[in-house]
């Protein structure tokens, strides 16, 4: 804490992981040697930079850009870029740390990183977005490369923004190397990458439900958020027979007791992805109820899929979900449940998966995009989807390997942390003190 003052999210993520790892480390003391834990919680490199751009009124705007290169132990730094006013060092360090363990869980050769800016894309014109992305890229390009650091999208950074940043990086480096994932299909993107995090979260939840002899068919599901992850979580849960009753954004929740349909989802996607609107606009168009200022967690459901942002589900929300009989909570977002909420789910016997396990499908498919780019070929939708499913099942199996308690209950928190940690730690030990 002394070394990272004013970084509550980072301390929260590190505390959660180390507390969960501790019993394992006590029985495997070699993982506490060679300063391994101290090294693991210190990012290898942090770049902070000025981003200047000119808005549509001709005024100069100054934002702050970041890239956290957390760990290269098992491959190039890999992790998304986030554009949101809440972005700061603490948030990005927590995300880069989590990303390192998550990427290890996929078993693909990717290290961990994260980056972004405090730039707020809301209300900006298309030209302003492009100018900002290009300005951001004029510094970022020095720090990335196909074998060094391969960023992707995250909150506020979708296919459009990745395209603008990747385009500028290509121009500045005079190289078409695969420096980004989440690219458009026309310039090296992978089929299923946009769907991958949401689909993967639902695939993972499907494996969790199987441990109780259940499937999604006929279950009620709440989803928070309405962005990339949320949209495809809704789609896959629906395809598996669930009734999805909510989506949300930072202004409130849409409640639709009849459940989403493919037609309603198409309207949501139009509103969010093309009109850059709010869920209240969607509610108006679809006739669903909009609950201003409310989070989805008061709605009784069997499965909850938090897909918006960190700390969006607290101990009070967890208590409400538990008393309403929730069976399974799988995180599509990164650290949406507070530590207290996560502990409450486990204590109540709710199947609970932390994001580093259940949302790893996005980065896993980014890994598949890198493989396709390196081979200079494209796999079909079916092929990528099948690999995604297989990877999610593999992560679930890894969680069970390390997360089954003596009483037979499953801690996905411990399972994911130990499985991810062992892979990174073994690689670090093998490569010496560097």
Position 249 contacts ligand NDP (CB under 6 A): yes
Sheet holding 243-249, edge to edge: 289-292, 252-255, 243-249, 220-224, 303-306, 328-330, 351-353
Taking residue 148's Cβ as centre, other Cβ atoms within 10 Å add up to 15
Q: Identify which range of 130-138, 233-241, 244-252, 259-267 contacts ligand NDP by CB under 6 A.
A: 244-252
Position 312 contacts ligand NDP (CB under 6 A): yes
Q: Which is nearer to ligand NDP, 40 or 333 (CB)?
A: 333
Q: Which is nearer to ligand NDP, 312 or 414 (CB)?
A: 312
- Give the nearest distance from C-beta 430 to ligand NDP in angstroms: 28
Q: Identify which range of 5-13, 24-32, 254-262, 306-314 contacts ligand NDP by CB under 6 A.
A: 306-314
Number of residues that bind ligand NDP (CB under 6 A): 23
CA angle centred on 307, ends 305 and 311, rounded to 5°: 100
Taking residue 60's Cβ as centre, other Cβ atoms within 10 Å add up to 8
Check: CB of residue 99 under 8 Å from CB of residue 78: yes
CA angle centred on 353, ends 348 and 354, rounded to 5°: 115
> 3-state DSSP call for residue 318?
helix
**Separation of alpha carbons 316 and 322, rounded Å:** 10
Check: CB of residue 220 under 8 Å from CB of residue 245: yes
Residue with tokens 């849409």: 254
Among 153, 189, 354, 367, binds ligand NDP (CB under 6 A): 153
Q: Which is nearer to ligand NDP, 61 or 280 (CB)?
A: 280
- Give the nearest distance from C-beta 203 to ligand NDP in angstroms: 14
Residue with tokens 């499985």: 419
> Is there a catalytic annotation at residue 93?
no
Sheet holding 149-152, edge to edge: 45-54, 60-71, 112-117, 77-83, 149-152
Structure tokens at 280: 């209240």
Contacts with 431 (C-beta within 8 Å, 6 or more apart), sequence order: 73
Position 250 contacts ligand NDP (CB under 6 A): yes
Site string for ligand NDP, 99-128 (x = CB under 6 A): ------------------------------
Structure tokens at 141: 């390009």
Check: CB of residue 148 under 8 Å from CB of residue 111: no
Position 359 contacts ligand NDP (CB under 6 A): yes
Position 362 contacts ligand NDP (CB under 6 A): yes
Among 16, 154, 385, 414, binds ligand NDP (CB under 6 A): 154
Q: Which candidate in 114, 236, 264, 356 is catalytic?
A: 114
- Give the nearest distance from C-beta 284 to ligand NDP in angstroms: 16
CA angle centred on 145, ends 142 and 149, rounded to 5°: 95
- Give the nearest distance from C-beta 334 to ligand NDP in angstroms: 4
Range 13-24 burial, b when 16+ CB lie within 10 A, else e = bbebbeebbeee
Among 20, 181, 197, 206, binds ligand NDP (CB under 6 A): 197
- Give the nearest distance from C-beta 88 to ligand NDP in angstroms: 13
Interactions with ligand NDP, residue window 332-351 (CB under 6 A): 332-334
Q: Identify which range of 54-62, 147-155, 319-327, 397-405 contacts ligand NDP by CB under 6 A.
A: 147-155
Interactions with ligand NDP, residue window 204-243 (CB under 6 A): 225-230
Give the footprint of ligand NDP on this chain (CB under 6 A).
153-156, 197, 225-230, 249-251, 307-309, 312, 332-334, 359, 362
Instruction: Name the residues annotated as catalytic.
Output: 114
């Amino acid at each position: 804490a002394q070394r990272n003052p004013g970084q509550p999210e980072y301390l929260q993520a590190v505390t959660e992981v180390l507390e969960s790892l501790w019993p394992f480390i006590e029985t495997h003391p070699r993982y506490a040697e060679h300063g391994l834990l101290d090294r693991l919680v210190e990012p290898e490199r942090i770049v902070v930079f000025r981003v200047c751009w000119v808005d549509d009124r001709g005024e100069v705007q100054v934002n702050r850009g970041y890239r956290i290169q957390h760990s290269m132990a098992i491959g190039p730094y890999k992790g998304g870029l986030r554009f949101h006013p809440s972005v700061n060092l603490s948030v990005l360090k927590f995300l880069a740390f989590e990303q390192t363990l998550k990427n290890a869980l996929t078993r693909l050769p990717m290290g961990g990183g994260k980056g972004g800016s405090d730039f707020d894309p809301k209300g900006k014109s298309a030209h302003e977005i492009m100018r900002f992305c290009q300005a951001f890229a004029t510094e970022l390009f020095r720090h990335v490369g196909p074998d060094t650091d391969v960023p992707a999208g995250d909150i506020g950074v979708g296919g459009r923004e990745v395209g603008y940043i990747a385009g500028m990086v290509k121009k500045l480096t005079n190289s078409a190397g695969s420096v980004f994932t989440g690219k458009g299909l026309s310039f090296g993107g992978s089929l299923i990458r946009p769907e991958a995090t949401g689909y993967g979260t639902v695939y993972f939840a499907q494996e969790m439900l199987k441990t109780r002899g259940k499937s999604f068919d006929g279950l009620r599901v709440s989803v928070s958020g309405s962005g990339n992850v949320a949209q495809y979580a809704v789609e896959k849960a629906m395809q598996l027979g669930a009734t999805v009753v909510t989506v949300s954004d930072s202004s409130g929740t849409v409640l639709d007791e009849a459940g989403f349909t493919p037609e309603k989802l198409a309207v949501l996607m139009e509103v969010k992805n093309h009109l850059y609107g709010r869920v209240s606009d969607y509610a108006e168009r679809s006739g669903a109820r909009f609950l201003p200022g409310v989070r989805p967690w008061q709605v009784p459901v069997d499965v909850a899929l938090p897909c918006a942002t960190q700390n969006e589900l607290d101990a009070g929300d967890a208590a409400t979900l538990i008393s309403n009989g929730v069976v399974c909570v799988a995180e599509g977002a990164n650290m949406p449940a507070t530590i207290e909420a996560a502990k409450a789910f486990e204590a109540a016997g709710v199947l609970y998966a932390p994001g580093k396990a259940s949302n790893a499908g996005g980065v896993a498919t980014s890994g598949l995009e890198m493989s396709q780019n390196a081979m200079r070929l494209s796999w079909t939708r079916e092929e990528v989807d099948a690999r995604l499913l297989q990877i999610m099942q593999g992560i679930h199996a890894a969680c069970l390997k390390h997360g089954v308690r003596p009483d037979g209950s499953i801690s996905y928190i411990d399972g994911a942390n130990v499985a991810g940690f062992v892979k990174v730690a073994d690689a670090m030990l093998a490569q010496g003190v560097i």
